A and B are shown apart, each in its own frame.
Chain A
Amino acid sequence: MNTSTNPRALGVLRAIGIVVLAVGLGGCWSRLPSGCPPACVAAQLGGRDLSGVDFAGVRLIEANLRQSDLTRANLSGADLSGANLQEARLRGADLTDARLIGADLTKATLVGAVLNRTDLTGATLNDADLTSIDLTRGVSLDGANLFRTVLVGARLSGVNLRAFRCWGADLTMADLSRAQLNGGWMSASDLHGANLTGADLRGTWLNLADLSGANLRAANLDGTWQVGARLTGAILAEATLRGAVLVGTNLNGADLRGTDLTGARLQATDDFTDRDRLRQLIDDPAINSLSDAEWSALEIGDARLSGAQYDDLTVWPRPVSVQEVNQ
């Protein structure tokens, strides 16, 4: 009798022992701390390999996910508000309906991430990599900072991004057609080859921006500041640039057919020779951080227009001689 019960009791004991050891060791080796998910609020998950982990609907508020690998992780419906996602790898992650209010995504990689109705209100995306990202599907970027963000080939067509704060961003070949960007802070950003057809850029800061080869057909650029900007070979046909400041802007080879330049400033006046005054006027870190040598290299002078195309419908701010354009 005893011999038949003892082995069973010992077996149970051994099983419990194995479970306890497994839990103990697993706790050390697991990719996730015990209890997370579902209790991941303020969880310390920095630097972990969380690739492919299912965090759907999980509360990760104020979680530390710095430098963590969230490649292809399922974060749909997750709350990542206030989370630290600096240098996090979110390649191919699903962020559908995710909340990232005030989250810090500085230097994070979001290439191939799925953003549907993602709430990025007040988030920081400085230096983040958003190459080819699609931001057209109900993504909120209200008050988000996108300084120096890589948005190469990003899709932003028709998106309302009033006062878009993307100073120094790389928007090469991005699709910004019909986007609302008025009052934006886009100085020093790279927009070469970008599609800005019909975009609303009224009063946008575009100082030192590279718009060479960009398509700005029928775009509204009224009151923009484009001091020292490059618009070589840009298509500005049917665009309006009324009252725009184009001092030191390179418009060589630009298409200005049917462009309205009423009241635009093409010549460097005293205002623009006094650098301190200009810096004060523009209040732009790109301008403020320039060394004297870099400043001199910019040759902020009159706008350059050689080889620009124009026609009878082009409205000049003042009589421009044919010689001036075709020199």
Chain B
Amino acid sequence: MTSAGSGLRPGVRLSGPLATVLAVALALLSGCDSPLAGPGCPPACVGVKAIGANLTGENLARVNLSGANLADANLRNANLYQAILVASNLTGADLVDANLTRADLSGAQLRDANLTGVALRDARLSGADLTSATLTRVVLTGVALDASVLVQTRLVGAVLQDANLNGAHMADCYLSGANLRSANLVGADLTNAIIRGAALRNAQLNGAQLRDTSMASADLSGANLEGADLTGADLSGALLTNARLGRANLTNTDFSGADLSGADLSGTRMYGTILNGAYLQGATMLGAAFVPPDGTEDAALAAEAHFGGVTYDANTVWPQGFLPPTSASTAAEAGSR
């Protein structure tokens, strides 16, 4: 008994420091009071200032945060279900894995915000500024995005199917592997955007600014690109079957290995266009210009179009007076693809 008792003594002595350690650990684990504490906040937090606040995992469902300043706030895993964040400042905020289902972010400042893994079902982002924000693999179907700014936004592998992005500002946007099927991108500015391997089947891109975009291996079958500016765009290996490209500017556009079978290329400018190894079965190039008229600015800038090893068939409509080059072969000669 005595030996047992003496054996316990160090334990008794240790209980002091142990208690301190426990108290400190508990204090750290429990966290401080919500930084949003204020009269009636939450739920009424209109215009609250919580710059750089730690709101990790906080439950802010249905909270009114209109005009709140949450710049650089940590909102990781926060529950913002149906929260009102209208005209709030979320610049540089960490919203990773946050729940923004049915949240209203209209006119919100989301510059440089990290929205990776967020749930945005039925949320509103109308007029929101998402410049340089990260939305990798985020599902944006049904999200109101009208008049939102998506310049330099990271939307890698994001789902934007049927999205209404009419006239959207999306220059330098990063959309590789994104799903943009049947999306409305009429007149959108996608200058210099990276859209490699994205799905754009049946997308409406008529009149869109696609200058210097990187769209290698993208699926644009059945897409409407009428009157679009594709100057210097990379469409190598892209699928453009039955795509409508009438009157588009294709100066220096790269269609290497692209499938343009059944595509409408009539009335296009094809100065210096690269069509090496492309499929042109049933494509219409009525009134397309391959060589810029002498003396024009284009003549000095662009070379002749390249047609090395293209495949065509009896249904391919070439511009008047154009003879397919020696390296071109008919679909029958080329055999199966």
The answer to whether A82 and B216 have CB atoms under 8 Å apart is: no
Q: Are A10 and B196 interface neighbours, CB within 8 A?
A: no
A50 proximity list for chain B (CB < 8 A): none
Q: Chain B interface secondary structure, helix, strand, loop or mixed?
A: loop
Complex formed: what's the CA distance from A76 to B23 in Å? 42
B237 close to A142 (CB less than 8 A): yes
Please indicate the chain B residues that have their CB under 8 angstroms from the CB of A242 in the complex: 309, 326-327, 329
Q: B276 to A202, Cβ gap below 8 A?
A: yes
Residue of A nearest to B25 (CB): A20
Assuming the contacts A24-B25, A42-B96, asked whether A121 and B276 have C-beta atoms less than 8 A apart, the reply is: no
Write out the residue numbers on chain A whose beta carbons fall within 8 Å of the beta carbon of B154.
62, 82
Choice from B97, B134, B137, B307 contacting A79 with Cβ under 8 Å: B137
Q: In this complex, which of B8, B21, B116 has the most chain A Cβ atoms within 10 angstroms of its Cβ?
A: B116
Interface size on B, residues (CB 8 A): 63
CB pair B236–A163 under 8 Å, yes or no, is yes
Q: Mark A46-86, 1 if CB is under 8 A from B, else 0.
A: 00000000000001011000000000000000010110000
Quote the shortest CB–CB distance from A269 to chain B (angstroms): 15
Asked if A182 meets B277 with Cβ closer than 8 Å, knowing A122-B196, A143-B218, the reply is yes
B176 within 8 A of A: yes
> CB distance B198 to A41 under 8 Å?
no
List residues of chain A with CB within 8 A of the CB of B156.
Answer: 81-82, 101-102, 122
Option from B157, B196, B237 in Cβ contact (under 8 Å) with A82: B157
Q: Assess A122 versus B21: contact at CB under 8 Å? Given A41-B96, A143-B217, A202-B309.
A: no
Residues of A within 8 A of B329 (CB): 202, 222, 242
- A185 and B256: CB pair below 8 A? yes
Closest Cβ–Cβ distance, residue B170 to chain A (whole Å): 16
A301 at the interface (CB under 8 A from B): no
* B157 interface neighbour in A39, A102, A163, Cβ under 8 Å: A102
For the side of the interface on A, what is the size category? Answer: 35 or more
Q: Report whether A39 and B97 are in contact in the complex, using a CB–CB cutoff of 8 Å.
A: yes
Flag whether B40 is at the interface (Cβ < 8 A).
no
Q: What chain B residues lie within 8 Å of A62 (beta carbons)? A: 114, 116, 134, 136, 154
A223–B327 touching, CB < 8 Å:
yes
- Consensus secondary structure, chain A interface: loop
Report if A21 contacts B (CB, 8 A): yes
B80 to chain A, nearest CB (A): 16
A216 / chain B contacts, CB cutoff of 8 Å: none
Q: How far is the CB of A160 from chain B (nearest CB, A)?
A: 9
Cβ contacts under 8 Å, B216 to chain A = 142-143, 163, 165
Q: Quick check: A183 and B326 within 8 Å, CB to CB? A: no
| Inter-chain contacts of B303 with A (CB < 8 A) | 280-281
B184 → A minimal CB distance (Å): 22
Encoded as 1 (CB less than 8 Å from any A CB) or 0, chain B from 209 to 240 comes to 00000111110000000000000000011100
Measured CA separation A145–B234 after assembly (Å): 12
- A81 and B137: CB pair below 8 A? yes
User: What are the interface flags for A113-142 relative to B under an 8 Å C-beta threshold, 1 for contact and 0 otherwise?
Assistant: 000000101110000000000000000101
Which A residues between 151 and 199 are near B, CB-CB below 8 angstroms? 162-165, 180-185
Which of A11, A122, A220 is within 8 Å of B198, CB to CB? A122
**Are the CB atoms of B309 and A163 closer together than 8 Å?**
no
Check B310 against A223 for contact (C-beta < 8 Å): yes
Q: CB of A203 within 8 A of chain B?
A: yes
| A13 and B257 contacting across the interface, CB-CB below 8 Å | no
> B residues within 8 A CB of A82?
116, 134, 136-137, 154, 156-157
Tell whether, in the assembled complex, residue A223 and residue B309 are in contact, meaning their CB atoms are under 8 Å apart.
yes
Q: Which residue of B lies closest to A7 (CB)?
A: B8
Residue of B nearest to A122 (CB): B176
Task: Say yes or no: B137 contacts A61, CB within 8 Å.
Answer: yes
Q: Are B117 and A42 in contact (CB under 8 A)?
A: yes
Residues of B within 8 A of A203 (CB): 256-257, 275-278, 306, 308-310, 327
Q: Is the CB of A16 within 8 A of B22?
A: yes
Determine if B332 is an interface residue (Cβ-Cβ < 8 Å).
Answer: no
B314 sits at the interface (CB 8 A): no
Cα distance, A200 to B137, chains bound together (Å): 34
CB pair B114 A42 closer than 8 Å: yes
Task: Give the chain B neighbours of A285 by CB distance below 8 A.
Answer: none
Q: How far is the CA of A286 from the CA of B7 in the complex (A)?
A: 78
Q: Which residues of A contact B (CB under 8 A)?
A: 3, 6-7, 10-11, 13-14, 16-17, 20-21, 24, 39, 41-42, 59, 61-62, 79, 81-82, 99, 101-102, 119, 121-123, 140, 142-145, 162-165, 180-185, 200-205, 220-225, 242-245, 262-263, 280-281, 283
Query: B residues engaging A (CB < 8 A)?
Result: 4-5, 8, 11-12, 14-15, 18-19, 21-22, 25, 77, 96-97, 114, 116-117, 134, 136-137, 154, 156-157, 174, 176-177, 194, 196-198, 214-218, 236-238, 255-259, 274-278, 303, 306-311, 325-329, 334, 337
The 10 closest A-B pairs by CB, nearest first: A183-B257, A223-B308, A243-B327, A203-B276, A122-B176, A263-B326, A143-B196, A203-B277, A163-B237, A202-B309
A143-B237, A202-B277, A204-B256 are known contacts; what are 16 more A-B pairs with Cβ within 8 Å? A13-B22, A20-B21, A39-B97, A42-B114, A61-B116, A62-B116, A101-B137, A119-B177, A122-B156, A142-B197, A142-B216, A182-B256, A202-B327, A203-B310, A222-B327, A280-B303
